């Protein structure tokens, strides 16, 4: 979803003259690395029903995190990762290699801010997803969620997400959280397409998801998140209350690189 247009433009323009400066910048920032799993984090699959695509090793297209909530059945991701009403979107928490240790969960409802539905405002590039129970259990009975919190600038944050592809493992990187014109930001190299919606964790609390400005970042060593402030808390409260979800327009090309 992310950076594909920027990569093509860079190739066509032949920006080889900038390579030495880019290499110098990359040497100053940490690089994302692969790990087996990240707490409360997983991959999104579409289209899939009855767990078919993840169980057959099909491709995942974005990332998401489990949010601790009274209903114990909510996820959070980037709004540009989802569309429609949620049918045929499935979530595999703690996915790694060919393993599905947290099972596969079907999305039933999506909740977005009206500003995203109206104009794809990158400051509202966040969505909460409800998943159906399985065998009388809700998702947090199987995989604990992380509580929402406001981000704290200049303190370490761990950002994680699944690169687009099949199976595999998540990438993760820890760096100081920066305030970039109201967005959360970090400097880390190595993320790419598919990591949108990935979790930002500070002290075990969810303070962001990859998305927002430039749908997560056009430069190869920068990641962004929509600000997790009062608007996100209000959206979370609406989702936790269990009301009717939203019909989400396709938005993964809006505000992209």
For 20-61, the pLDDT digits (tens) are 333 334 447 899 999 999 999 999 999 999 999 999 999 999
Same domain membership, residue 136 and residue 217:
no
Same domain membership, residue 67 and residue 193:
no
Is residue 2 in some structural domain? Answer: no
Is residue 257 in some structural domain? Answer: no
Is residue 32 in some structural domain? Answer: no
Range of the domain at 133: 41-145+232-240
Is residue 210 in some structural domain? Answer: yes
The pLDDT value recorded for residue 11 is 28
Same domain membership, residue 216 and residue 157:
yes
Is residue 155 in some structural domain? Answer: yes
Q: Tokens 């592809």, residue?
A: 165
Same domain membership, residue 110 and residue 219:
no
Same domain membership, residue 204 and residue 93:
no
pLDDT band at 194 (very low <50, low <70, confident <90, very high): confident
Is residue 35 in some structural domain? Answer: no
Same domain membership, residue 140 and residue 211:
no
Same domain membership, residue 214 and residue 106:
no
Question: What are 39's two structure tokens?
Answer: 């707490």
Read off the CATH number of the domain in which 172 is found: 2.40.10.10
pLDDT band at 251 (very low <50, low <70, confident <90, very high): confident
Same domain membership, residue 193 and residue 92:
no
**Number of domains the chain contains:** 2
Q: Tokens 């928490």, residue?
A: 93
Q: List helix spans (H) across the chain.
A: 4-13, 19-26, 52-55, 114-119, 139-142, 230-240
The pLDDT value recorded for residue 5 is 33
Contact 125, 80 (CB under 8 A): yes
Same domain membership, residue 140 and residue 63:
yes
State residue 180 phi and psi, 5-degree precision: -120, 95
Rounded Cα–Cα distance for residues 95 and 201 (Å): 18
Percent of the chain at pLDDT above 90? 79
* Integer CA distances (angstroms), 48 to 12, 59, 133, 140, 161, in order: 35, 10, 17, 21, 20
pLDDT band at 98 (very low <50, low <70, confident <90, very high): confident
Same domain membership, residue 236 and residue 130:
yes
pTM: 0.88
Give Dmax over CA atoms of the chain in angstroms: 59
Rounded to 5, what percent of the chain is helix, strand, coil?
20, 30, 45
Rounded Cα–Cα distance for residues 215 and 254 (Å): 8
């Amino acid at each position: 979803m992310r950076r594909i247009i920027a990569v093509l433009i860079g190739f066509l323009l032949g920006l080889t003259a900038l390579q030495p400066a880019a290499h110098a910048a990359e040497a100053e920032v940490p690089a994302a690395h692969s790990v087996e799993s990240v707490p409360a984090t997983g991959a999104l699959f579409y289209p899939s029903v009855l767990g078919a695509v993840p169980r057959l090793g099909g491709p995942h297209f974005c990332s998401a995190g489990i949010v601790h909530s009274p209903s114990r059945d909510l996820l959070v991701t980037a709004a540009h990762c989802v569309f429609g009403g949620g049918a045929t979107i499935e979530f595999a928490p703690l996915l790694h290699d060919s393993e599905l240790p947290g099972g596969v969960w079907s999305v039933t409802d999506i909740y977005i801010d009206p500003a995203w539905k109206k104009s794809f405002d990158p400051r509202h590039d966040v969505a909460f997803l409800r998943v159906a129970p399985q065998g009388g259990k809700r998702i947090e009975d199987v995989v604990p969620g992380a509580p929402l919190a406001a981000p704290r600038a200049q303190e370490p944050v761990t950002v994680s997400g699944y690169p687009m592809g099949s199976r595999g493992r998540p990438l993760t990187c820890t760096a100081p959280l920066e305030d970039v014109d109201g967005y959360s930001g970090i400097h880390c190299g190595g993320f790419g397409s598919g990591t949108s919606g990935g979790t930002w964790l500070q002290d075990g609390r969810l303070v962001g998801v990859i998305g927002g400005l430039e749908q997560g970042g056009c430069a190869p060593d920068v990641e962004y998140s929509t600000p997790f402030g009062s608007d996100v808390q209000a959206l979370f409260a609406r989702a936790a209350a269990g009301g009717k979800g939203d019909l989400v327009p396709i938005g993964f090309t809006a505000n992209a690189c």
